[in-house]
Amino acid sequence: MAYSISLLIVRHDDLGLLSHIQYPEDLRKLPADRLPEVCDELRKDILDELSVNPGHLASSLGAVELTVALHYVYNTPEDRIVWDVGHQAYGHKILTGRKEAFCTNRKLHGIMPFPSPKESPYDTFVCGHASNSISAALGMAVAEKRLEKIAAEQGATGGNGKAAERKVVAVIGDGAMSGGLAFEGLNNVSATPNDILIILNDNNMSIDRSVGGMKQYLIGLNTNETYNALRFKLSKWLRSKGYLEDDRRKGLIRLGNALKSAFSHQQNIFEGLDIRYFGPFDGHNVMELVRILRQLKDMKGPKLLHLHTTKGKGYKPAEKAATVWHAPGKFDVGTGERLCDDEKGLPAKYQDVFGNTLLELAEANPNIVGVTPAMPTGCSMNIMMKSMPGRVFDVGIAEGHAVTFSAGMAKEGLQPFCNIYSAFAQRAYDNIIHDVAILGLPVVLCLDRAGLVGEDGPTHHGAFDMAALRPVPNLTIAAPMDEHELRRLMYTAQLPGKGPFVIRYPRGRGVLPDWHCQLTEIEVGTGRKLKDGDDVAVLTIGHIGNEAAKAIAEAEQEHPGLTVAHYDVRFLKPLDGQLLAEVGRRFSRIVTVEDGIRAGGMGTAVLEWMADNGLAPRIVRLGLPDSFVEHGTVPQLMHITGIDKDGIKKAITGICGYSKAQ
Ligand SMILES: Cc1ncc(C[n+]2csc(CCOP(=O)(O)OP(=O)(O)O)c2C)c(N)n1
Ligand SMILES: CC(=O)[C@@H](O)[C@H](O)COP(=O)(O)O
Ligand SMILES: [Mg+2]
């Protein structure tokens, strides 16, 4: 496997103990009582670096002790640590050969935003979308057992030719634990022979506050210390006597569970699933963590270790306001002041236009309710939440549920606005088809972060929504080119009889000096001509139309005589047949521009429409390629993928014969 970090900037700071640790094997040479020092240095390194090179701060600070203890006790990378989301894994990166390159974190060609086996053998699985760690870890554990069996049958000495049995650990936060996939994983862990350790890193926070029954359950979940100590000793002894093979182990868990609930009047959901539960313990006591992990490491059967941690641990501003410090941007470490750009005079963020407009619509329409899967701040639904707490539902990291829950409310007459980041909505594909589209329920699905998102990289780009949703019957799919269009589309979507309505818009700011405007209806399925011209028609959808407008202006300026028409398709579905007929009849050259994957998106829709209607203009389609776009700033990535002003201009002039087309 190729490991890729091509941007190598070496840091030369003197980091004390850390400067002697390149890899976990160096860490493991230290006596355990030096580990608190390592943690302090690691925390300081993360803080200093992130203050100038922004990223996910608070979760990584909260996982420092756990990270050090894991790499100290486990034989990584041979043993597998599977991080959930991976936004807490900066300490892991620094300890696993990426200390010098950490200053390139999230930058173009630098370290990837989330752990990835493409970058390091210490990164065991793809990270970015929450709640997959338990399933992946179980898969690895099952593979290990099976491969060992195959090797034994073939007369080899052990699975993968190694001496000790590989251990597999999943590290999952309380927020990620609210995801359905995590529950599916637990259910399967319970019923499949395996020895995995699930570490529940419980800081009682998601990005916003943790929500739901599991969060409440975890707060109340306790086992007393004597019980924990006794149980460690007992299971060690039973194991040494060979009494802890699978059947007996399950029986003992059930007995333990029964005794515990008899004494404490508390059922333990994990133990009820035959997963041994240990905790809760202090996740910031590194020496204690080492002791506990050593005891659990060789224990057979599935286990869950529950740790209490503090998001933002060790940095007071982050501890006090973990949501803001989840990914705070640049900041002054000393004062805790966040160094935000001067926002004065800048257009509003689309998310804020969404949030304010939703509240405005909800004030007028009592049927409107808001649904967000764990992103109230990210999508600005917190604006409505503050004013109308009873009408907004944060359902946790549960995109599929968010859609079906919305569908249920729509079925009974409410008007849900369900806001999901485009990439996370991939989790809800069938829910959109099965639970919304088939019945044609009037759910307004707002896909924020559609298109390139920048530094979060391939897992987070909203690349696929248009291509994925376009074939689904009954859906209306639209994308606003500016803030006013977003407001008007939202207004239109909640009018009676509109059915399922998808509105996609990007991360970041719009283009207008003032987002306020009157809320008036846009006729569904209509695009608009923004500018006339004779030589070529440029068809765009959504915000990228603004980039195309700049490209057109420049192309016309650089090539006197060239005139370019610009159409805003606006609705991917239904397409505006009248507009396309005009374009198809008048122009023999068309350039389509979108910020989603080219295959199957708007350009493809135009191509199909022309072919279906017996028209054959030459069409150049710009969009994201058939490969995963890496991380970098949005302008950098737009340039690389050829959808920035220069790329669009090149396509326009190329198709008109002024320069070679791309
Ligand atoms: C499927 C999916 N939905 C939403 C997100 C956005 N997200 C990233 S981290 C996070 C909170 C995770 O909370 P937790 O697992 O408790 O980790 P913590 O941040 O508290 O350390 C959310 C909602 C995501 N990455 N993936
Ligand atoms: C780790 C994760 O998935 C989120 O923290 C994500 O990075 C948020 O993205 P925005 O910054 O666009 O809200
Ligand atoms: Mg959490």
| Nearest residue to 143 via CA among 127, 164, 159, 123 | 159
Q: CA-to-CA distance for 417 and 86, rounded, in angstroms?
A: 29
- 86 and 212 housed in the same domain: yes
In a domain, 9, yes or no: no
Q: 194 among the known binding-site residues?
A: no
Q: What total of structural domains would you count in the chain?
A: 3
The ipTM, to two decimals, is 0.99
In a domain, 411, yes or no: yes
The pLDDT of residue 8 is above 90: no
- 483 and 610 housed in the same domain: no
- 123 and 250 housed in the same domain: yes
Mean pLDDT of 406-429: 98
Ligand 2 atom closest to the CA of 459, numbered from 1: 3
What residue numbers bound the domain in which 77 lies?
Answer: 16-317
- 146 and 26 housed in the same domain: yes
Say what the pLDDT of residue 662 is. Answer: 40
Q: Which helix (H) or strand (E) holds 394?
A: strand 392-394
Q: 568 among the known binding-site residues?
A: no
| Nearest residue to 386 via CA among 359, 405, 368 | 359
For the question of residue 573 being annotated catalytic, the response is: no
For the question of residue 245 being annotated catalytic, the response is: no
- 140 and 289 housed in the same domain: yes
Say what the pLDDT of residue 263 is. Answer: 55
- 476 and 397 housed in the same domain: yes
Backbone φ/ψ region at 30: left (φ over 0), alpha (ψ -120 to 50), beta: beta
Residue 556 maps to which CATH number?
3.40.50.920
In a domain, 406, yes or no: yes
Mean pLDDT of 498-513: 98
Mean pLDDT of 103-109: 98
Give the number of other Cβ atoms within 10 Å of residue 383's Cβ: 22
Q: 428 among the known binding-site residues?
A: no
First to last CA, the chain: 31
pLDDT tens digits for range 274-317: 999 999 999 999 999 999 999 999 999 999 999 999 999 999 99
One-letter identity of residue 348: A
Peptide bond into 574 cis (omega under 30): yes
Cβ proximity of 402 and 375 under 8 Å: no
In a domain, 337, yes or no: no
Mutate to test the pocket of ligand 1, among 85, 88, 181, 418 (most ligand atoms within 8 A of CB): 85
| Nearest residue to 637 via CA among 465, 506, 466 | 506
pLDDT tens digits for range 320-334: 999 999 999 999 999
Looking only at the bridges linking them, the beta strands covering 536-540 and 528-531 are unpaired
Q: How far is the CA of 375 from the centre of ligand 2 (A)?
A: 9
Single out the residue in 272, 293, 317 at which a domain terminates. 317
Q: CA-to-CA distance for 448 and 510, rounded, in angstroms?
A: 13
Secondary structure letter of residue 204 according to DSSP? S
**Which residues does 202 contact at the CB level (< 8 Å), separation at least 6?**
173, 174, 218, 280, 283, 306, 307, 308, 309
Cβ proximity of 392 and 385 under 8 Å: yes
Single out the residue in 454, 487, 504 at which a domain terminates. 504
Cβ proximity of 335 and 342 under 8 Å: no
**Which residues does 647 contact at the CB level (< 8 Å), separation at least 6?**
551, 622, 638, 639, 641, 662
Single out the residue in 317, 332, 363 at which a domain terminates. 317
Report whether residue 506 contacts ligand 2, using a CB cutoff of 6 Å.
no
Say what the pLDDT of residue 231 is. Answer: 66
- 238 and 110 housed in the same domain: yes
pLDDT tens digits for range 577-595: 999 999 999 999 999 999 9
Cβ proximity of 171 and 83 under 8 Å: yes
- 255 and 173 housed in the same domain: yes
Mean pLDDT of 397-407: 98
For the question of residue 399 being annotated catalytic, the response is: yes
Residue 414 maps to which CATH number?
3.40.50.970
The pLDDT of residue 259 is above 90: no
Mean pLDDT of 488-504: 98
Nearest 5°: phi and psi at 127? -125, 160
- Write down the pTM of the prediction: 0.93
- Residue in the structure block whose two tokens are 């006090």: 320
pLDDT band at 230 (very low <50, low <70, confident <90, very high): low
Say what the pLDDT of residue 162 is. Answer: 55
Annotate 17-77 with DSSP letters as a single string.
Answer: GGGG-SSHHHHTTS-GGGHHHHHHHHHHHHHHHHHHS----HHHHHTHHHHHHHHHHS-TT
Show the ligand 1 pocket: residues with CB < 6 angstroms: 59, 62, 85, 87-88, 129-130, 173-176, 203, 205-207, 311, 374, 397, 399, 424, 427
